[in-house]
A and B are shown apart, each in its own frame.
Chain A
Amino acid sequence: MLVYKTALRGAMLALILSCMAGTAVGQWLSLPLPGTPRNADGKPNLSAPTPRTADGKPDLTGLWHAENMRYNANLLPAGTQAPMLPWAADLYKHRVDTQGYDRPMTRCMPHGVPDAMTVAPLPFKVLQTPNVTVVLFEEFNKYRQIHTDGRQLPVDPDPAWYGYSVGRWEGDTFVVETAGFKEGTWLDDSGHPHTDALRTTERFRRINFGRMDLDVTIDDPKAYSRPWTSDTIHFLLQPDTELLEHLCENNRDIEHLENFWKGQQQAAPSTTGKQ
């Protein structure tokens, strides 16, 4: 019996190695990552239980992507509308009518919080450590840090594209509070705006090895009449692969987009900040 099991293991290993050899290319597109639970055929077992760190918390570490572009297109649950103040509604309408007038990505500025995580074809990598969780975005090679060492959010910080983030655990939910935003990002590609008063609360739940969910609450009293919460965003683990470089070195689109947008500028909306 033991011999049989050993032989079976040997055969499985050979199978895994041959699969790897078959897909190995110069880039780290396909490689077996340690810590990945596997089925008998060697493939990642994406429905295996949520991995946990030494202190028993869920471990969010992994390469993730949104399951589709729906949340990037519009953060809200289908059929609902954000409670925008009039100036924000005007600006949003202009962005929709002009098919994204001056969207930051057009000039190779990245998506922000939360939509840098919803660009489905460009994954992000979460690295969870005891004192900080780092999020590396493939899009434009950007990163974000979520501090978990007990520090408080800074008072009157220099406004930042991704703001300043601290995280804590509520049961198995990783709760991330972020403030100190610069008015530059859009909340989604349809163009929901925000001001420097924005505070976001993200709630991450790793459902199992292969799935993670996120709800984001948007609280920006200068743009919205009350806080509102996104649709539940579903992320899928992208197993046995790596981030690839994505630097904006050849932006040929801007010239054509500027042609399309000529004469479509909006008069400055009645907010304090830059739009």
Chain B
Amino acid sequence: MVLFVVAIAAFERAAAHHSFTAEFDANQPLKLTGSVTKVEWTNPHVWFFMDVKSQDGSVTNWGFEMASTSQLLRAGWKRDSMKIGDIVTVDARRARDGTDHANAQNVTLANTGQRLFAGSPTQ
């Protein structure tokens, strides 16, 4: 809960090293649940990937951009907050180019219920 409050306070200060609107579409919100396959705890952005099962049983590997490691640390993340195999639900905004990647807003960890702000770029 404390983490969530801190995270919200950080929202306005979130920003990208690039133009958000050129890469992502704020009008294409996504909510996806899947299993984490890879975490890149790197700069200028942290990325993670997860397998998402569709209704017909096919699996798509999605990539999600988050803020910098420094922004996530200040928002309450640790580098091992999310581990391979974790089931997570992501609120995100999809890439304009239609590829299977998006900008994550919030990440909820299924095993703890913890919801973490992803420090998403706002411009």
Interface assignment of A83: CB less than 8 Å from any CB of chain B = no
Say whether chain B's binding surface is mostly helix, strand, loop, or mixed. Answer: loop
Say whether chain A's binding surface is mostly helix, strand, loop, or mixed. Answer: loop
Chain B interface size, under 10 / 10 to 19 / 20 to 34 / 35 or more: 35 or more
Q: Report Cα–Cα, A253/B15, bound state, in Å.
A: 14
Q: Is the CB of B43 within 8 A of A245?
A: yes
Partner of A108 from the list B17, B23, B96 (CB cut-off 8 Å) is B17
Interface assignment of B68: CB less than 8 Å from any CB of chain A = yes
Interface assignment of A7: CB less than 8 Å from any CB of chain B = no
Q: Is the CB of A99 within 8 A of B18?
A: no
Q: Is the CB of A246 within 8 A of B44?
A: yes
Q: How far is the CB of B46 from chain A (nearest CB, A)?
A: 9
Q: Report Cα–Cα, A65/B45, bound state, in Å.
A: 19
Q: Is the CB of A253 within 8 A of B43?
A: no
- Chain B residue with minimal CB distance to A139? B17
Q: How far is the CB of B48 from chain A (nearest CB, A)?
A: 12
Q: Is the CB of A121 within 8 A of B43?
A: no
Q: Which residues of B contact A249 (CB under 8 A)?
A: 42-43
Q: How far is the CB of B35 from chain A (nearest CB, A)?
A: 21
Q: Which residues of B contact A244 (CB under 8 A)?
A: 69-70, 73
The residue in B43, B96, B99, B122 that gathers the most chain A C-beta atoms within 10 A of its C-beta is B43
Interface 1/0 per residue, B89-123 and A, CB below 8 Å: 00000011101010000000000000000010011
Q: Is the CB of B68 within 8 A of A246?
A: yes
Q: How far is the CB of B110 from chain A (nearest CB, A)?
A: 24
Q: Which residues of A contact B17 (CB under 8 A)?
A: 105-106, 108, 139, 248, 253
Interface assignment of A247: CB less than 8 Å from any CB of chain B = yes
Chain A interface size, under 10 / 10 to 19 / 20 to 34 / 35 or more: 35 or more
Interface assignment of A69: CB less than 8 Å from any CB of chain B = yes
Q: How far is the CB of A243 from chain B (nearest CB, A)?
A: 8
Q: Report Cα–Cα, A268/B115, bound state, in Å.
A: 48
The residue in B10, B18, B95 that gathers the most chain A C-beta atoms within 10 A of its C-beta is B18
| 14 A–B contacts, CB within 8 A, in A order | A29-B74, A69-B123, A72-B15, A99-B21, A106-B17, A121-B13, A121-B67, A241-B74, A253-B45, A256-B96, A256-B101, A257-B22, A260-B23, A261-B22
* Partner-B contacts on A (CB < 8 A): 25, 27, 29, 65, 68-69, 72-73, 98-100, 103, 105-106, 108, 119-122, 138-140, 189, 241, 244-254, 256-257, 259-261
Known A121-B119, A189-B19; further 12 A-B contacts with Cβ < 8 A:
A65-B13, A99-B21, A100-B18, A106-B18, A119-B15, A121-B67, A121-B68, A139-B17, A246-B68, A252-B65, A256-B97, A257-B22
Q: Which 8 pairs show the lowest CB-CB distances between chains A and B? A: A100-B19, A250-B42, A244-B70, A99-B22, A121-B13, A105-B17, A120-B13, A99-B21
* Partner-A contacts on B (CB < 8 A): 10, 12-19, 21-23, 40, 42-45, 47, 63, 65, 67-71, 73-74, 78, 95-97, 99, 101, 119, 122-123
